[in-house]
Amino acid sequence: MYKIDFTHPSAVHFVGIGGISMSALAEILADAGFKVSGSENTRSALADRLTSKGIKVFYGQRRENITDDIDCVVFTSAIRPDNPEYIAVQEKNIPCLTRGQLLGQLMKNYRTPIAVSGTHGKTTTTSMISEILLRAGTDPTLSVGGILKSIGGNFRIGGSDCFVTEACEYTNSFLSLFPKIGIILNIEEDHLDFFKDLEDIRHSFRKFAELLPEDGCLIINGSIERPGEITDGLACRVLTYGPDEKNDYYPTDIGYDELGNAGFTLHGPGGSVRRISLRLPGEHNVYNAIAAAALADLLSIDGSVTCEALHDFAGADRRFEYKGSVGGVTVIDDYAHHPTEITATLKAAANYPHKTLWCVFQPHTYTRTRTFMRELAQALTLADRVVLADIFAARETDSLGISSNDLKLALEDLGRECHYFSTFDEIENFLLENCINGDLLITMGAGDVHKIGENLLGI
C-alpha cells in the first residue's frame, strides 16, 4: 500500500471529492501544504467550499483529469473499475488509496484516535463527542459525517493528539483504520449490495473491534445481539452501555419535555449519577448521548462539562433538523433511510407538538428498497400521512425492476393511505393543498428530499 509522507506534502487527487468525508480529507491535506485536486459529477456546497479554498475541482470524471504530476489518487467506495479516471490511474500506474486507507494513515499521526462505528447514529454521536471535547478545551481534530454548526462545516483541524472520526462499515472501509478507542453503537442489516447477510456484517464489526490495541478501549451497546461474539477475547478494555444495570452505563427516568426533547438520569461505573437534558427528541438519542458520555469519562473530562455540552447540542445537519414554519406547518428534515432509523425518527416526532404527522420519504438505493420493502412500509405507518418520492439511486445504475410505487402498494397493504409522485413539484403542490396549520412535515431520506421542505419555506 502507498504511504503518504505527511512531512513532505505531495500532489493528491480525490475522485469523488465532493463527498462529506472525502471533502474533509481533501481540506486536511490542503491545510498541511499538499497540492490537492479532485473531481465530482455534480456541483455541491461542499465542492464549492473546496474551490473557495483554492482546491481545483473538475466537474465530470474524465481521464484527462488524471495528469502526470499527480503523486497519489484517492477513491471513494462508490468508484467502479469502469470509471474513466480509475482506468487512467491504472494505465499510468499512479499509486492510489481508498478513502478509508487515507483516513487510517492520518489517524496514525495522533496519540488518541477515536472511531465511532455502527449501522445508525454515527454522525449524531460523533457530533455529541465533538461538542464535549470542544467544551472541555481539548482542541481536537474532528471529521464528522454531517455539517456541524459549531465548527462551521464537517471537519476541524486541532492542535492536540486527539482525533475523532466516523468509521463506516460499507466495503469494510473501517477495517483500514487505526483507532485506540472504538465505539460500536449498533449492528444491523444494511449495505447488502456489499455484505452477504447480517452474520457477514457482524464478522466485520468483530474485526473492527480487534483493531483496538491492548491499551485501548471498546465502548459498545450491550443490547447488540450476542455481544460476546464481538467482545470475547479482545485485548482491549471493554465498556458497555444499555437499558439496565447489567451494563457499565445505563439510564433511568427517561422523559420528554413539551417539544419532545429527551432527558434522563445517567448511571455510570462506581455509582456515579447525573441528570442529562438534551435538546434532541427520541430514545435513540438518549443512547447516543450515553455513548458520548462514556467516552468523555474515559478521557477524564469533568462530568459537568459533559452534561453542559450535551444540553447545548442542538443536533447535526439533517438529523431531526428544524427548517422553519410556513402557514403554521412545522418543517423538519431528517437523514433517516433505514427502517430502524425511520422508526426512531417517527417515534421521536410523536412527542413533538402536532395535529397531523406528514412524512415525505425518498427511498435510498434500489438494493436497500428491495431488501427492506416490507420493513420500510411498516416503519412508515408510524406517520399519519405518507408521500413518496422517486428512489434516490446514489451509486446504483440497475433499478432491479422496482420503484417507489412498489413501496406505495406495500403501505396500502398495511392499511396506510399513501401518495406517490414522480417529481418534487408535484409533491410540493400536493403538500400546499393538504397540509394545514398545526401539522408537522418531515422530509426524510439520504438523497436530496430536503429540497422539498426548503422550496416550501422559500430558503
Q: What pLDDT was estimated at residue 101?
A: 95
The one catalytic residue in 98, 112, 123, 367 is 123
Q: What pLDDT was estimated at residue 146?
A: 86
Q: pLDDT tens for residues 58-85?
A: 999 999 999 999 999 999 887 888 999 9
Q: Is 417 exposed, middle or buried (0-12, 13-18, 19+ CB in 10 A)?
A: exposed
Active site residue 123: yes
Q: Is residue 192's pLDDT more than 90?
A: no
The one catalytic residue in 27, 112, 119, 122 is 122
Q: What pLDDT was estimated at residue 315?
A: 84
Q: Is residue 409's pLDDT more than 90?
A: yes
Q: What pLDDT was estimated at residue 316?
A: 80
Q: Is 215 exposed, middle or buried (0-12, 13-18, 19+ CB in 10 A)?
A: exposed
Q: pLDDT tens for residues 164-187?
A: 999 999 999 999 999 999 999 999
The C-alpha atoms of residue 40 and residue 14 are separated, in whole angstroms, by 9
The C-alpha atoms of residue 3 and residue 95 are separated, in whole angstroms, by 9
Query: What is the DSSP code string of 193-225?
Result: TT-SSHHHHHHHHHHHHHTS-TT-EEEEETTSS
> By percentage, how much of the chain surpasses pLDDT 70?
100
The C-alpha atoms of residue 180 and residue 214 are separated, in whole angstroms, by 9
Q: How many angstroms separate the Cα of 68 from the Cα of each of 51, 264, 420, 425, 433?
A: 22, 58, 49, 45, 57
Closest CA to 137 of 275, 296, 28: 296
Q: What pLDDT was estimated at residue 330?
A: 96
The one catalytic residue in 27, 166, 169, 341 is 166
Q: pLDDT tens for residues 222-268?
A: 999 999 999 999 999 999 999 999 999 999 999 999 888 999 999 99
Once rounded to an integer, what is the mean pLDDT over residues 344-360?
A: 94
pTM: 0.87
Q: What pLDDT was estimated at residue 194?
A: 87
Closest CA to 404 of 418, 425, 414: 418
Closest CA to 261 of 357, 386, 353: 353
Q: Is residue 372's pLDDT more than 90?
A: yes
Q: What pLDDT was estimated at residue 197?
A: 95
Residues in the chain: 459
Once rounded to an integer, what is the mean pLDDT over residues 124-135?
A: 97
Per DSSP, the three-state class of 54 is: coil
pLDDT band at 318 (very low <50, low <70, confident <90, very high): confident
Q: Is residue 52's pLDDT more than 90?
A: yes
pLDDT band at 333 (very low <50, low <70, confident <90, very high): very high
Q: What is the dihedral of CA 199, 205, 208, 213, to 10 degrees?
A: -110
